[in-house]
Structure 1
Amino acid sequence: MRGRTRWLARSLFVLMCLICLLTGVSSPVALMLGILLALLLGNPFLQLTQAATGILLKLSVVGLGFGMSIHQAVAASQDGFLLTVISIASTLGLGALLALRMGINRHAGQLIASGTAICGGSAIAAVAPVIKASHRDMSVALGVVFILNSIALLVFPVVGNWLLMTQEQFGLWAAIAIHDTSSVVGASVSYGEEALAIATTVKLGRALWIIPLSLLLAVVSGGSLRRISIPWFIGLFIVAMLINSFVPAVQGISADIVEWSKRGLVLTLFLIGSTMTRDLLTSVGLRPMLYGFSLWMVIALVSLGLILSNF
């Protein structure tokens, strides 16, 4: 039976990957397919999935750059800059206070707050070696952020439509209040092209704050400056926008590149969902989960209020 289950899981995994590449499969559906597969049968290619997810996400994000102009990106970055600075500073400050109040492990609290403030798993992966966090702390932080990301991807478009948010408002809100780039893009792609452009640009600009945050934490915690990582794919995203803006020959195929990038993103979300194993869910713990959820709710609600008030 165990052999049959493994064969069935492998067959369904490959089939679902192919289905996710078809036009019409949405990001939330792909995520839920992955989660169901992981919980019911397990992921038969877990290590390969974890390695492929990051690469596919980065390639998909770079490909989306071929659908945007540099002028559009500059305007979106200017609109979201002040809100980004305020949200990052307030999230990190509130995170430090809440961690002390709730008795959260210092490193785990720093990782969860960093992931909430900037860009989810990417920030956690960048900050962890700088502050010399343990594997356990990193696993807990990634688990918290992963679960909240999944909820955000499903809930944010519903809330946006219920509140009749404009494309610009939703794009800003998604970029500020959703942790990972994958879920930011996944939520905004279903809301509209303008929301997608704004959310992607603001989120990638936000991701650059990994560098100053890592420097700050290295100084405060006595960590290693040599372990600071730079999100190189953001540079390639900017290059893609420049090519699309100033090289007319590329504009004829840019729509195809963007469409395949969106398909790649959908597949990425399926792969992310397929890593939500029972072990991951049970390893998080109630207190870190409440800490991450409380911090996320504050930033989501406050940023929503500021955006709706045309701050």
Structure 2
Amino acid sequence: MMKTITTRSAPLHANAINTTQPPGRTAFQPYRKFGIWPGIALVSAIAGLAILLRQVPGLGIFSPMILSILIGMAFHNIIGTPRAAKAGVTFALRRILRLGVILLGLQLTAWQTASVGITGFLIITVTLVATFAFTIWFGRIIGVDRKLAELIAAGTSICGASAVLATNTVTAARDEDVAYAVASVTIFGSIAMLLYPLTPAFLGLSAHDFGLWTGASIHEVAQVVAAAFQHGQEAGEFGTIAKLSRVILLAPLVVTLGLLMARRARTIRGDSPDQTTPVPWFVFGFLAMVVLNSAVAIPEEIKAVSPLITTFLLSIALAAMGLETDLSKLHEKGIRPFILGLAASLFIAALSLILVKLFA
């Protein structure tokens, strides 16, 4: 009997020793063997599935990015994100996201912005700044967390899910906040996409004015395209150009917000004024791609495939976000952020329409 006790106690003793070793050496070694690749494979599969699902009737109105975060959230909350995938999911949220935003610059040129005209660009800029400020202010009034309000403000005022993700690189909000903001701008952007085409005759808008209105106020690029082209080719083309001109303002917004966040942090912590300010360098990569696309004749083959690659990379990042999102925590946010998203969407629609009617 003594032998039996001895042979059983030895493994228990060995396990006890292993649990005292530094984290990440023994206990997690099996999950570190393949590095980021299990997670990259998972988020890539989700992004690929999202792209395929857009072929299903009725789902084509949603971008692969939106479908990716929904699939990721469903996977995480029903099955659970595998421990082996954690490193790759984190990598996608940080590195792949930034690469996707940088490549987004290849879809823009300075000449597109110029074709909108000074008046059109001023309408877009004023609408963007006013919407962002209103959303932050109203969020504070109704008691929405500032970081979540900033994400909803960015998504509503600029370009939906892409702006939410880019802004979060400096805001550093919780994953549930990002998911909520993406859901908000998707819902209200989709409603706008369906309702706007019903209004031109009632509002007395020309094709040019309707295109400018959609480009200045609807959230996602795909939603703008879907709505604007319902009023004809001219409205569709101008709406797309106006929207892309709005997207280019993503860079100064993220940089400005990053500087404000750093100053706020210094005030709270009492850091010295010469404390190094974190700079979102990927935004300058985005601007560099815009300059490159404006100055150099990029081969048509590359220009054709670039949007597909960019969409896939951003879909991967949103799949990773979904895999990090707990639905129970989303529920805890309550109705107030939803009200904020609705108010922001109504504000941007009304203000941009007034400016278009008065000055366009």
Q: 2:264 corresponds to which residue?
A: 217
Cα distance between partner residues in 2 of 1:172 and 1:51: 29
Pair 1:158 & 2:194 matched: yes
Larger Rg: 2
Q: Which runs of 5+ in 1 are unaligned?
A: 1-6, 129-136, 179-183
Q: 1:116 corresponds to which residue?
A: 152
- 3-state DSSP of counterpart to 2:355: coil
Q: Is the 1:188–1:199 Cα contact (8 Å) retained in structure 2? A: no
Q: CA deviation at 1:302?
A: 1.3
Question: 1:241-267: per-residue Cα shift (whole Å, max 9, x none)?
Answer: 33443x3xx3252x4444323212331
Q: 1:274 to 1:32 in 2, by over 3 A?
A: farther
- 3-state DSSP of counterpart to 1:28: coil
Q: CA deviation at 1:296?
A: 1.5
* 1:284 partner letter: L
- Of the candidates 257, 263, 282, which is equivalent to residue 328 of structure 2? 282
- 3-state DSSP of counterpart to 2:280: coil
* 2:108 partner letter: G
More relative contact order in 1 or in 2 (CA 8 Å, sep 6+)? 1
- Of the candidates 39, 46, 50, which is equivalent to residue 74 of structure 2? 39
Aligned-residue Cα RMSD (Å) equals: 4.0
Aligned residues: 275
When normalised by structure 1's length, the TM-score is: 0.69
Q: 2:22 corresponds to which residue?
A: none
- Shift >6 Å, 4+ stretches: none
* 1:116 partner letter: I
Question: 1:235-293: per-residue Cα shift (whole Å, max 9, x none)?
Answer: 33333333443x3xx3252x44443232123314532146424852222233x342221
Cα distance between partner residues in 1 of 2:303 and 2:226: 14
**Identity level (%):** 14
* 1:50 partner letter: L
Q: 1:208 to 1:42 in 2, by over 3 A?
A: same
Pair 1:144 & 2:180 matched: yes
Q: Which runs of 5+ in 2 are unaligned?
A: 1-37, 155-162, 201-208, 228-235
Q: 2:104 corresponds to which residue?
A: 61
1:121-132 aligned at under 5 Å gives the runs 121-128=165-172
Q: 1:42 to 1:50 in 2, by over 3 A?
A: farther
Q: 1:156 to 1:213 in 2, by over 3 A?
A: farther
Q: CA deviation at 1:152?
A: 4.3
Pair 1:233 & 2:320 matched: no
Q: CA deviation at 1:297?
A: 1.2
Q: CA deviation at 1:167?
A: 2.3
Q: 1:259 corresponds to which residue?
A: 304
Cα distance between partner residues in 1 of 2:176 and 2:72: 22
- 3-state DSSP of counterpart to 1:251: coil
Q: Is the 1:115–1:123 Cα contact (8 Å) retained in structure 2? A: yes
Q: 1:201 corresponds to which residue?
A: 248
Q: CA deviation at 1:305?
A: 0.9
* 2:183 partner letter: I
Q: Is the 2:251–2:284 Cα contact (8 Å) retained in structure 1? A: no
